[in-house]
Structure 1
Amino acid sequence: MVHTCVVAGCRNRRTPGTTLSFYRFPRDPERKQRWIAAVNREGWVPNDGSRLCSTHFISGKQVKNPRSADYVPSVFTTAPLSPEMKEPGALEDKQEARVEAANALLFLQGQGRSAVDDQGEQQKDRKQEAAVEESASSSLSTEEDEDEDESVSDSKKGKFSQASDAPVNFDDILKALKKENQALRESVEKMSLSENSLRNDAEKVKFYTGLPNYFVLETVMWLLAPHMDSMKNVKLSKFQQLLLTLMRLRLDLRNQDLAYRFGVKVGTVTRTVHRMVNIMSSTLVPTAVFWPSRAELRKNLPAALRASHPDCAVIIDCFTVPFEEPVSWGNQQQRVLPSYQRVGTTYNVLKYLIGVAPQGVVTFVSRGVPGNVSDKSLAEGCGLLCKLLPGDVVLASRDLDIGESVAARGALFRIGGGSYPGEEIGRSEGSPAADASSEAASVQKHVERVICMVKQRYAMLTGPVESSFTTAPERTSNLSTFDKIVQVACALNNLCISAAPLE
C-alpha cells in the first residue's frame, strides 16, 4: 500500500527504494494528541491510514521513550498550508505513478544495486541506534508494537541483494523451491487414496481392498472399466469409485466416513456403492465364482479326499449375517424372524448357503433368505442341485437332510467322511469309524475356514447390515443389494492367493 505523509506541504511518499519510514499515529490518547498538535492542521483528525514520515523527527525515526526529543515529531521546515489546499492534480499523480513504476523496474533489474547497498549501510547504523533506544523503553505498553511493522521501509522489505558484492543466484533459489514443491507433492500423494499411492504399496492395497497386490486390483479395474462408462460422476474417477466400494466392503466404513475421505457428498457415496456392486455382480461374479468341471476337480483334488471321495464336487454349509431391521420380502414384511444374539443385543438374520470346492475356492453362493427358513429348504430351493452330475459327491459338515433330493440327481450326499449322527458313539481310536469322524471334523473346519476367511477379508459380511442394503429384491435378478455384496465378496476372495485347500 502506498502511504503519503500527512504533514501539509510534505510530498514524501512510500516508494520502492526509499529509506524513509512511515509511522501510524500512536494509540496512546495523550501522545496521539501531541502528534496531532505538532502536525498543526486545523480541524483535521487522523484515520487508520494516516502516516507521518521519518523526516519530521530529529534522529530520523520515532522513539518510544517519553524523555526523548523524538517522542513527538518536531521538524517542520515547510510552512503549513491551509485546510482548503487541494491535493495534487490528476496529471501530477499520474506522472508520479509513472516515476514510481520506472524506479521499481530499475530496482528489480538490479540497476540500483549500488544505491541500495549505500542505503543498507545507513539502515545498519540506524538499527544499532534503535537497539539502544528500544532497551530504554522496554517497559512501555506493547499496544503499539504493530507500529514497528508499519515503520519498516520498502528498501528492507524488497531487499534482493546482500551486503556483499556477490549477487543472489536466483537459479539456485528456483531449484530449491522446485525441489521443495516436488517433496510436498509426493507427501500429499502418499497420504491420498489414488492409483500412485497404491501402486508400489502392497500392504496398503491389502488393507484398503482385501486384494493381495496392486496387480490384482489393476486387473479388476481393467475388467470393470468398460462397464463404468455410463456412470456419470464428475467428482470421482473410475479408480476412485472402485476403491471407495472396496473400502466399503473391506472395512465396513459408514457412508459419511467415505464422504469425508473422498471429498464428496453422502448421496454420491451411496449411489457409487450401489452402482459398483451391480456392475461387479454382473461382470466379476460370473468370472470368479463358477462351477468347475469334473476334470478340473479331479485334477487338483486334495489327498484327504482322493481315496475316500474322488468324485467330490462340492462341500456345502450355511452361514448367517445379522441385519439392523426386518427385511421386506415381496409384498409382505417378515416381522417374526429368529434372532441372532450378539453382545446382549438382538438382531434379525439373513441365511446363505455356500458351496466350496475341495481346493478351497467358493463355487456357489445362494441368495439370502430369512432366518426362519430351514437349511433343507434353502439347499433344495437355491439352485445348487441343478449343477450336480450323476456320480458327484456332495459333502456337508452337518446333516442338512437333503440326501433324497441329491439322490434324485444321481449324486451322493455324505456328512464329512460318510458318518451320520449317532455313529460316533462307542468308536475306538484307529477304527474306520474313528477315521470317518476325523474326516468329518476336517471337512467342517475346511468350510468354516473359508467362510471365516471371506468374512475377515470383507468385514461388511459380519453385520449388522444396514437396511438400505436389504431392501426388496430386484425384479430382474431376484437379488437384493446385499445378496450381490455377498457374492462379490466371495468372488474377490477367490482372486486372492489365499485358497484354503482341504488338509
Structure 2
Amino acid sequence: MVHTCVVAGCRNRRTPGTTLSFYRFPRDPERKQRWIAAVNREGWVPNDGSRLCSTHFISGKQVKNPRSPDYVPSVFTAAPLSPEMKEPGALEILDKQEARVEAANALLFLQGQGRPVVDVQGQEKLAGEKEKEQQAIAEESGSSSLSTDEDDDDSVSESKKGKFAQTSDAPVKFDDMLKALKKENQALRESVDKMSLSENSLRNDAEKVKFYTGLPNYFVLETVMWLLAPHMDGMKNVKLSKFQQLLLTLMRLRLDLRNQDLAYRFGVKIGTVTRTVHRMVNIMSSTLVPTAVFWPSRAELRKNLPAALRSSHPDCAVIIDCFTVPFEEPVSRVTQQQQRVLPASQEARTTYNVLKYLIGVAPQGVVTFVSRGVLGNVSDKSLAEGCGFLCKLLPGDVVLASRDLNIGESVAARGALFRIAGSYQGEADGISESSPPADTSSETASVQRHVERVISMVKQRYAMLTGPVESPFTTASERTSNLSTFDKIVQVACALNNLCISAAPLE
C-alpha cells in the first residue's frame, strides 16, 4: 500500500526504493493530540491510513522517549521534495547528515546514555571518517524505510533488545544461588541451635549437660523432667517451656548465676526468673527429694556395706556430720532475745552468720538425710535432737561419726548406738581398757574423709550451696512448712547428687 505524508506541502510518499520512513499516528491520546497540533491542519482528524514521513523529525525517525525532541514531529519548514521529484546535491546531503548527527548526540545526552560528541563544525574530521558516518546513517535510514510504521517500531525494539543482550552480563543462575542460600541458612540454624539453651543443643552433648545442670548426661536430665512434668501443669508461664523452667532452676543452683544474668540468657524479666526458681524448687522438694533422698532398709545396707566397715562396724546405718553455709543478712527467724544473749566476740558473730545443717551419708556414698538449716550458734546436740534424725533409727543400728557430737544418750534412747570412728568399742561404751586397737587413727581419717568428700561433692556440683545465701531464700517458703527455700535447695542438691554416678563410696 502506497502511503503519502499528511503534512501540507509535503509530497513524500512510500515508493519502491525510497529511503524515507512513514509512521502511523500514536495510540496514546495525549501524544496523538500533540502530533495533530504539530501537523497544523485546521479541522483535520487522522484516520488509520494517515502517515507522517521521517523528514519531519530532527534525527530522521520518531523516538518514544518523552524527553526526546523527536517524541513529537517538529520539522515543518521547507519540507523537501521526494527523491523522485528532485535529486539533492552533495552539499545538501552533507548538511542534512550533519544535522542528524547533532540531533542524535543531543538525544543521547538527554537520555543519559553517553557523552555528547563535539560539534561537527568545531572539529576537523578526516574524509574517510565522514564517509563512514554517511554510509552508516544511510544504511540505518534505508533499513528503517523498508517496513511500515508498526514494523519499524518492532524492528527498533528488537534491535535494542539484541544490543542489550549482547552488552549485558551472563544471566545469573538463580537455582545455584537458591541452593547456596539454603545451605547457608541451614548452617546458621545449626549454629544458633548449638549456642542456644534448648533440648536439641543438650541432647547429644553430655559435657554441656554436666556443665549447666550438674547431672552426668541427658538421659538423667530427661528422667528428672519426666518426674517433674506432671506437677508443672498448673504453672502458667507463657515465656518459658517446662524444660526451660527446669534448666533455668538447675543453672541457678549449679552455677549460682544472678537473676539478671538468667533473665538475659532466657529473654525474660527478673521477676519471671525469681518466680520460676521458687516454684521449681518447691516442686522438686516435694517430688524429687522423697524419691532420691530416703533412708535405706537394713537389708539393703547390709548387702552393699563396704569392706572398710564390714569387720569393725557391720551394723553401721549412717555416718553423720554437720556443715555450714554463710548468708548475707540475718535471717527472719532470729529474735531480739537471741541477739541480746549472743557473745560480742568476732568468733561468735561468725557462727551466728551461718546456717548449720546435719547430713547423713550411707557407707555407699549417697545422702540419706538432710536437716533443715539452723543458726550457727546452735549446738550439734540440739540440731540432731530437733531435726527428726533420731526418728529414722532402728534398734541395733550404729550411727558413726568422725567426732563427738554429744548425742550418745539420745541415740541410745532409740535403741541404737553412737560410735566415734577410731574409738575403741569399750571406751565408747564407758569401759576402760589399756590397749585400744592400733588402726583407730586410720579408721577415723577414713570416715572423716568419706563424709567430707560427699559434702564437698555436693557443694562443688551446686555452687549455690557455697554461699553466701541471699536473704529472699532464708524465709519460709510456705506458711505450713518450717523449711525455708534455701533448706529445700540444699535437699534438692543432695537429691540431684544421688542421681549422679559419681558417688563416693567408703574406701
TM range (shorter): 0.5 to 0.7
Pair member with larger Rg = 2
Structure 1 residue aligned with 2:67: 67
- What is the percent sequence identity of the aligned residues? 90
Distance 1:16-1:433 versus aligned 2 partners, 3 A rule: farther
User: Displacement, 1:438?
Assistant: 1.2
How many residues align? The count is 498
Q: Equivalent residue of 2:309, what SS?
A: helix
> 2:315 touches 2:397 (CA, 8 Å); kept in 1?
yes
> 1:63 touches 1:70 (CA, 8 Å); kept in 2?
yes
User: Displacement, 1:481?
Assistant: 0.2
Q: Distance in 1 between the 2:214 and 2:418 partners?
A: 34
Which residue among 198, 202, 215 is the counterpart of 2:219? 215
> 2:285 touches 2:488 (CA, 8 Å); kept in 1?
yes
Q: Which moved more, 1:69-78 or 1:228-237?
A: 69-78
User: Displacement, 1:478?
Assistant: 1.5
User: Displacement, 1:284?
Assistant: 0.3
Distance 1:120-1:382 versus aligned 2 partners, 3 A rule: farther
Structure 1 residue aligned with 2:124: 122
Q: Distance in 2 between the 1:24 and 1:475 partners?
A: 98
> 1:393 touches 1:411 (CA, 8 Å); kept in 2?
yes
Q: Equivalent residue of 1:146, what SS?
A: helix
> 2:306 touches 2:364 (CA, 8 Å); kept in 1?
yes
Deviation string 1:239-276 (CA, Å, 9 cap, x unpaired) is: 11000000000000010111111111000000000000
> 1:340 touches 1:346 (CA, 8 Å); kept in 2?
no
> 1:19 touches 1:153 (CA, 8 Å); kept in 2?
no
Distance 1:367-1:66 versus aligned 2 partners, 3 A rule: same
User: Displacement, 1:339?
Assistant: 10
Deviation string 1:35-64 (CA, Å, 9 cap, x unpaired) is: 999999999999999999999999999999
Gaps of 5+ in 2: none
Q: Equivalent residue of 2:169, what SS?
A: coil
User: Displacement, 1:167?
Assistant: 4.0
> 1:249 touches 1:459 (CA, 8 Å); kept in 2?
yes
User: Displacement, 1:169?
Assistant: 2.9
User: Displacement, 1:110?
Assistant: 24
Q: Distance in 1 between the 2:393 and 2:176 partners?
A: 75
Q: Which moved more, 1:184-193 or 1:90-99?
A: 90-99
> 2:59 touches 2:100 (CA, 8 Å); kept in 1?
no
> 2:343 touches 2:349 (CA, 8 Å); kept in 1?
no
TM-score of the superposition, structure 2-length normalised?
Answer: 0.64
Q: Distance in 1 between the 2:346 and 2:411 partners?
A: 33
> 1:16 touches 1:100 (CA, 8 Å); kept in 2?
no
Structure 1 residue 475 corresponds to structure 2 residue 474: no
> 1:315 touches 1:356 (CA, 8 Å); kept in 2?
yes
Distance 1:109-1:26 versus aligned 2 partners, 3 A rule: closer
Q: Which moved more, 1:386-395 or 1:44-53?
A: 44-53
> 2:21 touches 2:144 (CA, 8 Å); kept in 1?
no
User: Displacement, 1:475?
Assistant: 2.7
Structure 1 residue aligned with 2:85: 85
Deviation string 1:252-308 (CA, Å, 9 cap, x unpaired) is: 001011111111100000000000000000000000000000011011100000011
Structure 1 residue 98 corresponds to structure 2 residue 104: no
> 1:340 touches 1:349 (CA, 8 Å); kept in 2?
no
Q: Equivalent residue of 2:410, what SS?
A: helix
Q: Which moved more, 1:233-242 or 1:129-138?
A: 129-138
Q: Distance in 1 between the 2:5 and 2:464 partners?
A: 71
User: Displacement, 1:380?
Assistant: 1.0
> 2:106 touches 2:116 (CA, 8 Å); kept in 1?
no
Q: Which moved more, 1:14-23 or 1:69-78?
A: 14-23
Deviation string 1:407-435 (CA, Å, 9 cap, x unpaired) is: 111111001x3517998999999985331
Distance 1:484-1:429 versus aligned 2 partners, 3 A rule: same
Distance 1:173-1:295 versus aligned 2 partners, 3 A rule: same
Q: Equivalent residue of 2:368, what SS?
A: strand
Q: Which moved more, 1:472-481 or 1:18-27?
A: 18-27
Q: Distance in 2 between the 1:180 and 1:493 partners?
A: 42
Which residue among 269, 272, 282 is the counterpart of 1:268? 272
User: Displacement, 1:146?
Assistant: 42
Structure 2 residue aligned with 1:336: 341
Q: Equivalent residue of 1:234, what SS?
A: coil
User: Displacement, 1:80?
Assistant: 28
Deviation string 1:203-240 (CA, Å, 9 cap, x unpaired) is: 11101100001110111011101111111111111111
Q: Distance in 1 between the 2:12 and 2:344 partners?
A: 87
TM-score of the superposition, structure 1-length normalised?
Answer: 0.65
Structure 1 residue aligned with 2:244: 240
User: Displacement, 1:477?
Assistant: 2.4
Structure 1 residue aligned with 2:382: 377
Which residue among 252, 255, 260 is the counterpart of 1:251? 255
Which residue among 112, 115, 120 is the counterpart of 2:114? 112
Distance 1:289-1:116 versus aligned 2 partners, 3 A rule: farther
User: Displacement, 1:437?
Assistant: 1.9
Q: Distance in 2 between the 1:55 and 1:464 partners?
A: 100
User: Displacement, 1:474?
Assistant: 2.9
Q: Distance in 2 between the 1:263 and 1:487 partners?
A: 29
